[in-house]
Chain A
């Protein structure tokens, strides 16, 4: 004999939003198990280079640099040990690239989060923008490059535009799904406590959708780094991507691999930084899962 007329119990869990490192128990074991495969990879890489293996898909390993050369190139890129065109260049390339990634990512977030909240909560907004988003989303950033070259020309703005475009879609989609899943009961509670319409979006929808927004932002930031190399084909002089193309032009394969490694590390570190930022922002507040 129970009637629960509306709403479900909002499920909250006292766990942090972002997935944590694996449990501390067995951490040593995890670290040890993580070593053999990369080590084997390095050994095969070295052997393949030395014996000039030919692999399926026409992979000619003779054209690879030795792992040791890559390591030396990395040291030169970071600390300038060789005195060539790439010596210590990381400290020019990294800030230039990071600035493009951050600008594009922030711009994408500033557009995508408000738009996603509106689309998730109001069917009119959703009907207005949904066809447009679904139309543009499947267009790969690579396909934009020629048009962008004409529209914007070469340089930083073109680069930032491509990054913004790529980061925008995961963020807006994450925000929409988060905003849709806000428990109706919490909106009722906010309204009966005297929250205005806009206030409800800021005080209930945004925090309730926060985990989905954060997930979308992490995917978006990852994509921003993925698109970075492409976006630096737009003729910007410095940057991790530009340097990879420069290295290709002067046929310095070890430097190409060094650039790839640096982008991977930068992408990984920026994701950690974003995660840390949200951990500080939310502290240990339980959010809706």
Chain B
């Protein structure tokens, strides 16, 4: 993993994601996904939905650089992904915070690795802790916080690294409904402010429609005997994301049908 190679990306923030002909075959010959093509524009918010085992998390982990594709092209900002790097921040469902570091130290972790001046690290850290509303809890340790607060720390931690691409793997899946709604609204506001490109994997169709500019629907997957693939990409052209409005529910219904019904035989 050569970090110097990817470091320059964060300065330019050109996060065009290009995935072409992507396949992933696990050891033993199990095909997780095949022929996935996806292009994401800079600043776009893309949600990925699909039934369990369709390969949506694998797709995200390949973008993060945690897993290597078996075939195909995966580029972020024009550079091939060869491993994890600070240009692609990942928010995990189980937070992945360092338990021995305080909230402030967790958020400062990324900026400190870039060898920025101390004052600058402190300023960036304070800004993102404030952005997720945790200033009062900056001295606490993760185990002393609720799940929702821990996920806020995890989001602040990657944003403090100024990533050009934000990868979120079912980030709100372990949270209760109220906390989940709060964090969705907060993420939306943060996305409007930062215009960071986001790839958001979720089980919740409502969450996908509420947050995303486009919703990628995946089908198949290793557990279904066929490799996972993109069934359709549904643009969400709703000016107002009122979850109770008829227009919102029409989009939701369309995606639900794509997720829950088998594709017509070719």
Contact = CB atoms under 8 A, between A and B. Distances in A.
A2 interface: yes
A13 B51 CA distance: 34
B57 A3 contact: yes
B64 A192 contact: yes
Contact of A194 (B3, B95, B143): B3
A4 B173 CA distance: 10
Contacts of A13: 143
Nearest to A9: B94
B61 A5 contact: yes
Interface in B41-95: 51-53, 57-58, 61, 64-66, 83-86, 88-90, 92-95
A213 to B, nearest CB: 13
B224 interface: no
Contacts of B64: 188, 192
Nearest to B141: A286
A199 B173 CA distance: 31
Interface string B94-120: 111111110000000110011000000
Tell me the interface secondary structure of chain A in the complex. Answer: loop
B144 interface: yes
A43 interface: no
A196 B90 contact: no
B100 A188 contact: no
A190 B7 CA distance: 15
A23 B86 CA distance: 45
A6 B64 CA distance: 14
B142 A12 contact: yes
B1 interface: yes
A286 B84 contact: no
Interface in A185-220: 185-186, 188-197, 199, 204, 207-208, 210
Interface residues of B, number: 44
Contact of A185 (B58, B94, B113): B94
Interface string A76-88: 0000000000000
Contacts of B95: 9
B203 interface: yes
B168 to A, nearest CB: 12
B141 A2 contact: no
Contact of A2 (B84, B110, B173): B173
B88 A192 contact: yes
Nearest to A208: B100
Contact of A5 (B1, B57, B84): B57
B113 A194 contact: yes
A204 B98 contact: yes
B86 A194 contact: yes
Contacts of A165: none
Contacts of B65: 191-192
Given A185-B94, A188-B84, A193 B141 contact: no
B98 A207 contact: yes
A21 B145 CA distance: 27
A90 interface: no
B174 to A, nearest CB: 8
Contacts of B142: 12, 286
A71 to B, nearest CB: 46
Contact of B98 (A5, A186, A282): A186
Nearest to B144: A14
A7 B92 contact: yes
B114 A185 contact: no
Contacts of B219: none
B173 A288 contact: no
B162 to A, nearest CB: 11
Q: Which of A9, A13, A210: most chain B CB closer than 10 A?
A: A9
A193 B167 CA distance: 12
A179 to B, nearest CB: 15
A1 interface: yes
B157 A193 contact: yes
A236 interface: no
A214 B101 CA distance: 19
Contacts of B211: none
A137 interface: no
Interface in A23-73: none
Contact of B94 (A1, A10, A197, A288): A10
A188 B98 contact: no
A7 B3 contact: no
B216 interface: no
B158 interface: yes
Contacts of A7: 92, 94, 96
10 contacts: A3-B203, A188-B90, A191-B83, A193-B89, A193-B110, A193-B158, A193-B161, A194-B110, A195-B113, A285-B101
The list of the 6 closest CB pairs from A to B, nearest first, reads A12-B99, A194-B86, A189-B96, A191-B84, A12-B143, A5-B57
Interface of B: 1, 3, 7, 51-53, 57-58, 61, 64-66, 83-86, 88-90, 92-101, 109-110, 113-114, 141-144, 157-158, 161, 169-170, 173, 203
